[in-house]
A and B are shown apart, each in its own frame.
Chain A
Amino acid sequence: MRRSSLIWRARSLAVLVKDIKSELRTRYAAGAIAMFAVVTIVAIGFSLGGIALDINLQAIMLWLSIYFAAAAGLGQSFIKEEEAKTSLALRIYAPSGAVYNGKLLFNLIILAGLGLLIVPLFALLIGLNVASYGLFLTILTAGLIGLACTTTLIAAIVARASVKSTLFTVMAFPIVLPLLVLAIKGTQKALLAGVLFSDGIGELLGLSSYSAVMLIAGMLLFDYVWND
């Protein structure tokens, strides 16, 4: 049965809005992520004690902080449904594609918030010598979008497992690694004095194509994860 894309969008947005409302009232994911991010940055900054990092290390530390903070909260939107046992109602009344889209959008928003929190904090407390703002922000956006695209399906898988605790980190890491490396390399370029935006095209292409492939794979495979 074909549904018009307008209804599809409405349903996906409905899932997103529901998740946002839920999150605003309970603050599980955002709290975990924010706390992780702050603790990580403070720990790094404190250990450095004011020593400046070279730009390669800046890029590495920034993305590691982003990844581990994100991993603390990205699984939440699915795990919460399973733990509160509301997933049954969702399965009966909602088409699975809309659930996937909605939760993907939710993860995107969470990651956007994370980016807005971590980057200024990192720049302030540890230091970021951005040479090309255009490249830096583009790589940052592409990397965050890529993280959302690759991890949403994994979060759905982990939510359906019996023992969840460290599973997400173990499963996500080898899948996210190509993305992380490309983002780090791209960011390193963006911090290099005299760099042009075009220097980072390779990394941007890599990031976008990997994200696109993972997004499509997620859309095609989600049904097998969501429904028994």
Chain B
Amino acid sequence: MRLIIDRVSKSFQSRNVLRSISAEVRDGQLLGIVGPNGSGKSTLVKIVASLIRPSQGRVEFEIDGKSIAGSDIRPYIGMVSPELFLYDELTAFENARFLALMGGVQLSESRGLFDEFGIGGREHDLVRSFSSGMKQRLKLLIAMQRKPAIMLLDEPTSNLDDSGKALVRKLVDSREGITVMASNDRTEVQDAAVIIDLARSLAGGPR
């Protein structure tokens, strides 16, 4: 499978946020997106997720010879983002099971999953009572339970302690599909196959 980002640009009203970004990655590879705050990392991640339309260019996902674009990509995605919120009034387990069912996944090995992500024993507590680090772990769980072909991680280690950071590293390393990670911290994506540097893209011309 391949993820192709083809000359993607994005402007909001008259403000240009992304300028002709192109990249291509294959399964097992990591695509890193780095840049200072406000350089458009989250916007690019959302464009790949088909949540936002690019002003120009397109994003394409090739799997088994089929070419998929637009919102058809969504069944293949798992996403973790600071802009993604879970249902406070439901328990962790209810959140996971609801989003699993909606995403076409049977949540069978529930207990095991919760332990693996470090929130074992808390699955029947309301998400409202979770710390931000635990919410982050839950978001990772929900994203991974789908075994997504493309994993989108926007600041995945924010709010996480060292064991959480190690968890993310382990997840990314053991991925068979494509992983896209946007981060403030360059060291997190140092073993990426392709790196999109939005700082350079802003200052200079197209990448």
Name the distance in Å between A82's Cβ and chain B's nearest Cβ: 11
Contacts of A223 in B (CB 8 A): 71
Chain B count of residues within 8 A CB distance of the other chain: 30
**B203, CB-defined interface residue at 8 Å:** no
Which residues of chain A come closer than 8 Å to B53, judged between CB atoms?
A: 228
Q: Which of B78, B81, B103 contacts A88 (CB 8 A)?
A: B81
What chain A residues lie within 8 Å of B84 (beta carbons)?
Answer: 88-89, 92
For A10, give the chain B residue with the smallest CB separation.
B101
B94 interface residue (CB < 8 Å to A): yes
Taking CB atoms, residues of chain A closer than 8 Å to B204 are: none
Give the contact-size bracket for chain A. Answer: 20 to 34
Residues of A77-99 contacting chain B, CB below 8 A? 84-86, 88-96, 98
Beta-carbon nearest neighbor of A26 in chain B: B89
Binding site secondary structure of chain A? helix
Which B residues are CB-close (under 8 A) to A22? 87, 89-90
B72 partner residues in chain A, CB cutoff 8 A: 1
Q: Which residues of A contact B99 (CB under 8 A)?
A: 89, 93-94
Separation of A26 and B83 alpha carbons in the complex (Å): 23
Q: A7-B104, A15-B102 are in contact. Are A86 and B79 (CB under 8 A)?
A: no
Closest to A92 in B: B79
- A residues near B (Cβ < 8 Å) are 1, 3, 7, 10-11, 14-15, 18, 21-22, 25-26, 84-86, 88-96, 98, 223, 227-228
